[in-house]
Every structure is written in C-alpha cells, then in structure tokens.
Structure 1
Amino acid sequence: MSGDGQLPATPAQAPPNGAVVRVLFADDEAGTRTLMRAALRKLGLDVTLAADGREALDAFQQQPHTMVLLDVDMPELDGYEVCRRLRRQAGPLLPIVMVTGRDDVASVQRAYECGATDFIVKPINWSILGHRVSHLLRNYDMQRELHAAEARTKAILQALPDLLIELDADGRFIECHAPASEDLAHHLQALPGRTVSEALSPKLIEMTMAAIAETARTGRSTGRQYRLHLPGGDRWFELSMARKAGDGDVARFIALSRDITERKAAESRIGQLAESLHIANIDLRRANDELQRQAFQDPLSGLPNRAMLNSRLQQALRRISALPAATAQDAKLAVLFIDLDGFKPINDSFGHAAGDEVLREVAKRLRAIVRESDVLARLGGDEFVALIESPEAGSDALRLGARIIDALKRPFAVMDQKLALSCSIGVVVYPDQERSGDRLLACADAAMYAAKRIGGSACVPYDAGMSDDGTEQVLMQQALRESLERGALTLFYQPKVDSVRGRIYGLEALLRWQHDRFGIVPPSVFIPLAERFGLIGAIGDWVLEEACAQLAAWHAQGLHTRIAINLSAHQLRQPDLVERMRAALRRHGLHPGRLTCEITESAMMENSAEERGTLDRIAALGVRLSIDDFGTGYSSLAQLRHIPARQLKIDRSFVVDLTVSAEARAVVEAIVQLAHALRLEVVAEGVESEEQLQVLRDLGCDVLQGFHVASPMPADEVPVWMSTRENARREGVDTSFDSLPGHMTQF
C-alpha cells in the first residue's frame, strides 16, 4: 500500500469486442490478496484470487485469464515455477507480472528467464499499479492484433499462387515467398542475400534488371513473360514489379511472378481454334463459291446456265434504262439464240456420252469466239445464248453469228469418225427490234426457228412478223408460272387394272392445267413450255408432293393402292431429286414401293453417267421405275438389260391399230415377250375397246390402262370409283375378267 493508502482509480484498457478482462492474482498473504482485489476491481477488472501456486494453476486451467499477477515467494510452487508452466500453456502473449519483494538483479533476471512479462516490487505502490496494469493490457491487445495480422498475412501469402520477391535497386534478393506446393520453393529459399546476376540465367538477368529500371522511373513495370524448365515440366510465368512504399531514400521493389502456364495453354488452344475457324471459314467460302458456281453454271459445258443468263440479262437492261437520254441511243443489247442442227442423230446413233462430248466441244469453240465482255450461256440440250452490249450491237451480232456458223462447220471427232454440224441462230436487238426486255429470249427463239425453216446454218434477225408465236409463248409461260405459284394446277388420276382378274393395280397421276385465258392446255403444250422456260423442276416438285399427299390421304381412308408419276429428262439432271423424293415419302409415311416413276424410253436410254446414277439411286430407294412410251424411241438391248426399271409401258400408238394391223400385233407381241424375258412387267396404255383388251390379254400383257378401263378423274371421285369397281368385280359383273383364261406373270 502507498504512503497515503489510496487505491488507484485509473480504468484498465477495455478488452476488444466487450469481453470481460479477467485477472488472476496469487499470493499466500490474505491481506495482500484483499487489497489487490479491491485495487483491480476499481479498475473495472474481474479478479480471481489464489492462495498458492497450485491454486493458481487450477484456476487458470478452469477458465481463461487476460493477465496473471504472481507473488514470487509461495509455498510448494513458487512464482517462478508457476510462471514457467503458465508460459508453456498460454503462449508468448499472455501478460505475466511477478510481484516480489526482491529487487536484486538476479531475481529480476530469473523472472524474465521464466517467461515473466514484467515485475512489481513490494511494497506495492497502488497509485502506479493501475497505470502499469493498463499499459500491460494495452500492450497485450496490440500484440494480439499484430499476431492476428501476421497470421492473416501469412495465410494470404500461402493462398496466393504467385511468387513474391523483394529486391533492392542493385538486384539483390531480400525476401522470397513461394506457395507450399510450388516446385520453385527450395530454389527460392537459397536466394535471399544473393544478387540477380549470381542466381539467374542471362536472359532472366536482363529481363529482371530492365523491370527494376522501369519501376524506378515509373513506379510500376509492364508484364514480362518467361519460361522455366522445371522437374514437373516447362512452366510459363509473367513478371510484374512495383516500388515498395515507405522506403525513403532506399529503393525497394516487390516483384510478383505469376504462373500463366494454363493461360498460355488456353491462348494456344484459342489460337488453334481461331486458326481452325479461319480454315473453316475459308472452306465455307470455297463451298459457298462452289455452290454459287453450281447454281449458276451449267455442269456439262462449264458455261453460265439459264439462271445466270437471266440475271445478266436483267442487269444489262437495268444498266441501259438508267442511262441519261443523251447517251441512251448509243446503248444497245443483242441476244443471239443458237440451236444446233442435226444434233439428235448423234445421240441416237452414238449415245448420250458422245453427244455430251460434242456439246462440250461446241461450248469450247463458242467461248473462243465470243468476247470476254459478252455473255455466253447454255440453256440446256443443244441451245446456247450470247448477249452483246455495244452501240452497233445489231451488226456486231450478225458478224458474230457468221463466225459461229463457220466455227461449228468444222468436223467434230466422234468415236474415230468426223461428223459435220451446223447451227441456226436468231438475233434480236434491244431496243431497236424489241423494247420489252421480258420478250427478248422469246423473240430471239422465234428468229432461230425462222432460220431453221429456211434450212438451218443461217443467222436470221428478228422482225415483227415473227412475234405472234413468241408473244403467245411468253404470255403462256407467265400464266403457267402464276398458276404454279397459286396452286392452280391439278392432278387427275387414271386407274390401271390387271388383265386377268380385273383387280385395281394402281393409278397414274396426270397433270392438268386450265387457265381463264388459254382454257384447258394439254400437257403436250405446256410441258415443253415449262422445260424451255425453266419451270419443269418446280412443277415436278409440286407433282411429287401432291401425289404423295393424296396417296397418304387415301391410305388413311383404307384405300391401299399405288401411284405412278411422270419424270422428265430435265428432272433426272437435278442433283437433289432422290433426296427430295426420299423426304416426300418420309414426310407422308409412305412405303417407297407404293410410288412408281414413269420415264420416257428416250430419257431412260439416252442418259449420262450422272443421270444413270440418279436412276440407280431411285431404284435403291425402293421406288419402282417404268419405261414409258416404249417403242417410240431408240432402245439399245444392251442398255435395256442393265437399267433398273421393273416395268415397261407400251405406247398407245401400237394399241390403236392392234385389232386391224397384223404388224402392230406382231410388234406388241414382240415387246411383251422381250419384257417378260427381262422380267419386266408390261403395261398397255390407250386401251379404248373390249377388242383391244382381249388381244392384249391374249398376248400376255399384265396391266391395262385406258378409257375402256376408266377415264382420268379428280381425286375426290377415285374412292367412289374404286369401291364401285371392287364391288362389281366381286359380284361377277362385266368388269370382271375371272371367266377369261390365261395368267398374269407375277413379279
């Protein structure tokens, strides 16, 4: 107790987060314990008292204390031993104060060696005690916060995947840190105290010193990448550097070296992907160019096709119409329509492959004559068109026509033979001879036919007297196009029956067109028109879709039959014909065997390798192929053996004279025997009398079609006809052939 006996009133440092500050005091003198408790409580502290060292250890074990005050001289365990044990148990931060009457240096030294934080000499100066306790508690709080901050910093450093290095301006390593899992950790531990030039490779020395110099100037360096060869494999790093704050005049730098191996790998993958995408884009552009080329190029000759010709023609017309009136009179366009004379006999005599070779040679000769600024196109077959733009287009076209005629007169080599050809050319000039751009091709075509009428091998300019037929064709093709777009075309269906029992075999879909102006237009008129003006593909697509949809509708009603449609030679040249056929069958849920494609004898026999492949793919699809109009064209028996057809259809011209002409009967009999020998089913069309029916049955014809069986009818009449026919057949009325002898060959 102090001389005036007053206890201190200075409050102790409040513990963090409002926790109670608990102080343990051990002394074997009861009076001292009482005074100490009063003094500490006056400071706002919670006090635990112990009479000896053993009690002090037990009390500390039972609950934590913020500070411990120990008398040195206590029985059993003195204060030094208790301090030593508490220090081992509580760690280095707990304030432990020795209260002793000994003030010699040895005692003080011993107290510090046992782990004491401070000491208070007896008798206790109670006025100073509060300040000493408060100071120790504040220091304790500061040490705890510092310790926690160091722990947080260490945890952060351990969590960082980066290498942290402190260097001075001379490139000397001061401190290095690496994650525990880092392969470089054991290398970095040896760096402090060494310089960059002593520890690194020449390239890394140069890079590091350059980063130090840049950081010294600007305070921060740009990223620099480098690669290290480590036991686990090569790793990439990126070095960045900043000046350490608070260095004063002594420059210190913190270098961060980040592992960017994964980033480099990702960048490499992205680069490879970008390169792949670049290559893919190039391939896509090439594919698009090829598709564009195929869409606008004739595959046989390599010349522009009809679509490209129409596009270039419209461009030329727009270009001319946009010219000022002062210069428009000098802008003219000539259209030359070129058609070969005598080309069909080459196909008939030497085959389609030889004809294709001739057409390629014709295209080559024409290309050598026509200027690069002009347009040369192949419309199809043996028809070519040239466009010429010049102030003297009319005279230029006639001169060009004469050169073309001379060029094509030179013999063509066909199968080791020299064959001569000629051509007929019609010329029309816009706007001198025809001011309507839509009619130019039709007018040139009319002039070409005028050239053929005078014997061919001529170039004839167009005049108004030729316009009637051309105008009519232009108007009719426009009407046909509009009818197709409006869905105004219709299909009629003509039944077929087997010749023995009269059962319904199937139906043929026949295209019909009726127009307000032109009336009922026969297929023999509008089908060639559609082929000439490029509509046959769209019409063929419509017929295929409409026939499949109708067949599926009949099947849904329980009427299970089959349908035959007609395919033109132009459709066989469509590269996607088989896929469109497959899609239509799948879309309507039809078995391919329910569809028959009838193709004329000429188209079936005179086909290129590509068209032959189309026939093979149609047959492989399961669709039946039928040779239509057999006997009217040119057939090679060698080809007939190998085509994938399953049916042969005798042309109606042989059926007409069947009952009155022995020659016609002999021809039909020969056709039937030939077909059966080749395991082909035989259909006769144009059966118009009972007499014709009897003869055809006697000759072994398998299927009959014609007005005597049934006329073509709209789709909604077919179910009624089929039901009536089957009922009558079952009842044995005159539609039945059950009573007739003979047989039907089964295939």
Structure 2
Amino acid sequence: MDKIAPDEAGERLREKLAGATAAAADAYRQTSRLIRVLTVLGQPSSPTELVERTLAVLSQVYAADVTVSARVVAGRLQLTGTCGIPEGDAAYTDGWPLAGAAAEAIAAGTAIARTGAALDPDTDFPPSLAGLAPASAVWVPAGEDGTADELLIMFRSRPDGFPSADLPVLRSVASRLRLAVQARRRSATVENLARLGHRLTSCLDLPTLYDEAARLFPILVGGAEGGVVTIEDGVAALSAATRTDVLPDGYSPQVAKLWGWEALSAGETYCGVHDGFPMGGSVLAVPVMRDDAPAAVLYAFRYDGVPFRSEAAEAGTLFGTYVGVAMNNAELYLALQASENSLRLITESISDLIAVVDDAGRFVYASPSYERELALPPGRLLGTPVAALAHPGDRAAVAAALTGPAHTPTIEYRLLTGEDRWVWVESALRPMAADNTVVLSSRVIDRRRRLEDELRRRATHDPLTGLANRALTADRLNAALARVDAPDHVGLLFCDLDKFKDVNDRLGHDAGDQLLVQAADRLRGCMRQGDLLARFGGDEFVVLLDGVTDLDDVRAAGDRVVEAMEVPFPLLDERVEISASVGGVLGVRGHADPATMLRDADAAMYAAKHAGRGRAEVFDDAASRRSLDRLQLRSDLAFASARGELAVHYQPIVELSSSRIIGFEALCRWHHPVRGLVPPDEFIPLAEETGAITAIGEWVLGQACRQLAGWRRLLSGERLGISVNLSPVQLHQADAAARTLKVIEESGADPADVWLETTEHSAIRIDVNEFATTLRAAGVHFALDDFGISYSSLSHLKRLPVESVKIDRSFVAGLPDTATDRGIVRAVLAIAESLSLTVVAEGIETPEQHADLVALGCQLGQGYLFSRPVPPDEATALLLAGVPQPSAA
C-alpha cells in the first residue's frame, strides 16, 4: 500500500475539520432558528397573534421577503396569516388557485423548494407578487402526511434558494405552528363554551333560549348567521334565527328534507358546502338529542366559501349538549310554573337568608342576602350570637331553639336590622350532626305578619269605625260574666240612631258612613276606661260596661250616650240632627246569659223608641213583653200570605172639583187571627227588615192590576187608574224592572193605567232612572209619595223620572188656617205646573181642606173625607155609585 504524504494527509484533515465546522455552524444556526420560533410558540397569545408573530420571526431568520400561511379551500389557497402582504391586497382577500408547487407539496405531503427558472409565475405565486419577482420559494405542508390542507410559504427576491437542510426544520415549524394554533383555538373554545353555556342555562323560557342559541351558536363556531329548528312529532319548526331568511330553501316542515337530516337523525354533526345557497357558503348542523332522537337542530352558516373546521364541529357538538340541558331546565321550570300548588311549595321552601350557627348559637356563616335584606354585612355577623340580634321578648326562645337538646323545626321572632328597625323573621332549623352546627334558612315575614294581624283585626273589629264587632263583644261578655269572684256586675247598652235611615236615604250611603264614623267618635268620648264599644251593623252600637253596681249605673251610661248624640253632626255642609234610642240591661256574674242580655237590651231600646225616641230605657218586665211581642209578630208575618191573612184595600182618588173617582190607591192590610188588623206602620218595617216585602209587594201589585182589569170590563173600557206603592227594598233588586213588568202584563191590566209610587227618599237614594225607563217604555207611570218631607227634594225633582207628586198629609192637615202649610202647598202646585206634573193631595179629612185645595188650584185628592181604604167589593160599589160631594160645614 502506498503511503500518503504528510502534506496530503494534512490537507484531508483540514477539509474534514472545515466540513465538521460548517456542519456544526449549520446545526447551530438551525437550532437557533428553531429556538426563536419555539419561544414565540410558547408565548401566551391569541391564535391570530400567534400566527402573525411566528410568520414575522420566520421572515427574519430565513431572510424571506414574504411569508404566509394558507389554507386549501375549494381548490384555492386562502391566506390565514401573512408577513409582507398588505391586508387589502387581492391575495389576502381572494387567495389564488391551488396549482404548481403548492399543489405538489399538498399532494406529496413534503416540502418543495424552487429557484429561478423553476418558478412558474402563473401558478406558483399570486399575481400581486409579480412586482416582487420572487427568485426562490419554499412550500411546506402542515399536517399529517397525505391529509395536509394548510401550507407555510416563503418567497425571496434573491436567487439563493432554500437549502434542503432547512426543509425538515420548516416542516417541523409548520406542524408545531398548526398544533399551537389548534391548542389555542381549543382553549378559546372551551372558555367560550363555559361562558355561553352559563348564559344558556340562565334562560328559563324556551323562546328566549332558542333566540340565545341562534345568536350564540354561530359566534362559537365561526359562522355568520344561525338558526334553531325544533322538532316535535316528526314536524320541524323554525323557532329562532338571526335573520328571517336564514333558511330560505333548506327548511321544511318535513324533517327528512332538512339539510343533513340523514346524519342528524343518527345523532351526528353535519358539515356541508352548498353552492346553491343564495350567497353560496357552508352549513354546520348539530342535533340536540333527547331520548335518542333530535329534539332540535342548531344551524350555522358561512358565506365566504370556507368550510367549518373540525374543531368548530366538536365545539358545536358540546354546545348542543348545553342546549339540551338548558331545554330540560326550561321545560322543568315551565312545568313547575304550570302547577300552582307545586310552585307555592317550592317558593315556600326557598329561603332568602342562609346561615350556619355553631353549638353556642353563633354565626359561622351568613349569606350575602343578610346585607341585601337586613343591612347586616355577613362579615360583622360572624361570631355573633343570633339571640343577641333578637327582640328582648323573643331572645330566650331563640337561644333555646338553637342550643337546646331538641331543635325546634321552625321559629318566628323579631330581628334587629342594620337600620335599627325590627322585622319579623321565620327560620327553619336543620341540625348538621357531622360538625354539630345548625343550618338556618330564614325569610322576612313582615308582610305576612301584618296580613295576619289585619285578618285577626277584621275578624274582631268593624272595618268602617274600627270598633269591636259582634264576635269580639260576645267573647268579652262571656269572659266578663264568667268572673264570678268580682264584686260588681256587668252592664250592656244597645244603641240605635234615630232617623239614620232618613239621612242615609236623603244624602246617600257615603254620607251615612261618615255619620256612623262621627257617631262612633262621639260614643268613644263618653265611655269609661275599660268599657268596650262595638258596632253590630247598620246604625246599631253596643256598649259593654264591665264593672257596674246596679241599674242606676247602666241608666247613667245610657243617658251619657243620648246626650252625646244630641249635638248636631256636620255633614256635607249641613248640620244634621239625629238622636239615639238606648236600651240597657244589668247582668249578674255567674248567672246572666249573654244571648239573653243582648235580647233584653234590644227590647229596652225598642221601648225607648216607642216612648218617643232620643232617650234611654232599662230593661223591665214591660220591655220584655214588648220584645217577645215583636219577635212573635215577625214570625207570624212570615206565614201571613200563605194563610190568606193579607188583603188589598182600595182608597179612591177623586177629581176635587167634581168628586168623580178617577182611580184608586192599593194598600196592603194584615188581618191577624189573634191581634186583628195590624197597622201598616208596624208590619211594613218588619217586612222590609226580613226581605218579605218583595214577595208581598209583587202580590199586592198583581191583585191590584187584576182588580183594575175587572173594573175596566165592568165600566165597558172606561179609563181608570190604579196606584201601587213600591218599597225601596224592591227597587234594590237587580231584576226589579223585569219582574214588575211581568206582574203587570200577566194581570191583564193596561200598563198605561198603572201608577207606581215611591217615596222621595227612595227616589233620591236609589238610581231609579234605569228602572223607570224600562217601565215607562211600556206605558207605566211614576209618582212621588209623601212629597215635601225632605227639604232637598225640590232640587232633585227636575231630574227624577216622575209624572205626578203627592202632597204629604202633614201639609194638608194645616189647611186652611196654617199659613206655612198653605204656602208650601201653593209652592208645590206652582212647581208641578211648571214641570207639567199632576198633583194629588193626601189626607183630606174636612170640607174646609177640600175647599181650600180647590181654591189653590189642586185638581186631585184622596182622604177620609171621600172614603177610607175599603175592600174590593166596597170599592166597586163606590165606583158605581160615586162618592158624595163634600160641602162646607
């Protein structure tokens, strides 16, 4: 073997050293480049920022003029990041066709570098880079071999190409960049999912949920528009959309025609590109599965030709799960709302104030609601005993409930707020054996306690006057009579306001209520300490005198009540005068019966009324007899009609100038089998009190109208009128007009011959216009009875639906000698003439009254001078024979 000369050996060694040095320098350079890139990839940033920074570093370390990242979309390269191309450049916005070296790199899955003549300007780079005149370039695919759809592309204007040693490093950088971007996108997606999922679960009604899902879904997956299609019983419905035409031809009530239904029905996500879409674009559809079938479909759309990424589909699938949970929550909430009882139970079980209390009754936790509801910061409560905040009257009960051996399930107590006011709180206690604490679930019940107090008050007090009611009086009277060890007795007063009904009728119910309130205040002023004042209803008051010696004390208390009522009451710019009739009774403790005392006081009160009103009477045997007599009369009246004891009598109404009968007034009479004829002023008020007046009034009207029809036949059709009184109780009936007209029509009488009379008090108090309008349309006439008693009647006369007035007998009685009565009669006649009203004078008993009425111009009248009320057969005889012509004595 030939020996190598020393010089030649040294040269070879130097060459090897130079090669090794160059390789080391190249490895160092590649390592430095990779470290710089990895440093950027490791920095926190958004996906877009990460791409831009990485491309900038690659441009520096590889001396590239332009570095871009691009994605393959529908045969074109779409830029996803760039360093060296302005954002407004056509390459940035439109991309360029996938061809040339780029297509080869994607197809082969390997990096390709070209230099000089090997570059094809028509296919290898976009037209906008023609001015750069790239002299070398490299295309590096990112992704798995054979499946890459992204490229890292670098262009240089210098002719020196990219060494083959750079290509593996660039391939590693491209893959690492792709993975880093995906990781950041996944992280952002997870954050978005958590945020958006929370927003969805707060939607407790389905329409709002669908609207939110349609809005949030495209934001999450990178779409432009979105929609929600719900499916029920195989029928699809567009329930929400970000734009009304978001599903122009892909929506159909037939689920089989929905975009991607084949995949969706199997519970799979659908991604597709639809060239036929109005603006062209991609569709992402995610099924919301319930019971292994789609209950809804979430749609997202893009119109830039870019398909949805796989990670978008993954995020969309998770979002669909959130939507399904939210739908369950919303439907559960709606189901709870639908059941009132369930909602009530749930509401009652939810407490606003939550606390944990240790075995010494001290706060170890208090929820923020303590500050919101009670102005008590939770931090200040820690270590404080709950009982220390309780009202002194409740403190012992609270401490015992929290620290006692057996915890009370619930407790109500007053708690001092941070605003130094007491509020009622209800707390439910739940012992926690594990750490020897108690969970306190509390709520403020101020409103409930106030309502309970109000209900208790309403149960025992009159709402108008605030006085005790019948129930409370009975309780107190029972208690007072049961105190047998007391040395004194119990007194009871029953007070009734005289003429209250007149005031109520004339001035109205509101004025009547005001009078009752004023009367209650007067009565309070004359009570002793410890007496109980009550209102039993209407104008009846009761006073319980606990601690009296004898009947003289009871009478003295009654006299004080009478005296208090004698002063006129200011009412509606008037001074109204009323009086009080008072009955008193004495009860001996341990012997008297409450019901008997009330009955006897009531009897004594009626004795005071019969004795002239405005006075006090105490109960005695005579009062007892009167009370029982009235009760018996009231009982007998209930059966009077059925027993045939009621009758109708008729008093003629005559033409004063000729004494010719022009009609009759029908009047009810009661022939009691024992008492004989009962005066109307005794049984009519009883009938009104019991409500029997309605049936009696209709019976009288029917009898009178049938009698009228018979008289008309007897007189061969000659006109004759009949007048019938109506009680205010009848006018109060809701169907009074219809019932009255029915009675008239069924009788066979001509409605035009019927005159219905009502007192001016009733006409003023009750709105009779509707009643009168119905009956006047049928021909029935109306008259005011007892006209002139109320001094306010003239101001009301012009608006009342009447055609006749009757001058009250109290004015006729003073004729012809009393100038005042004569002046009133003359004034009534003048007013009636001006209003075209007929006038009937009542109670004519002497020829002088008759003559004076004729002289004053009164045309019609009735009274004992002509005839008292008589039975039907006597009235017929009068009708045929006529009444005698009166002559002056």
TM-score by length of 2: 0.40
* Relative contact order higher in (CA < 8 Å, ≥ 6 apart): 1
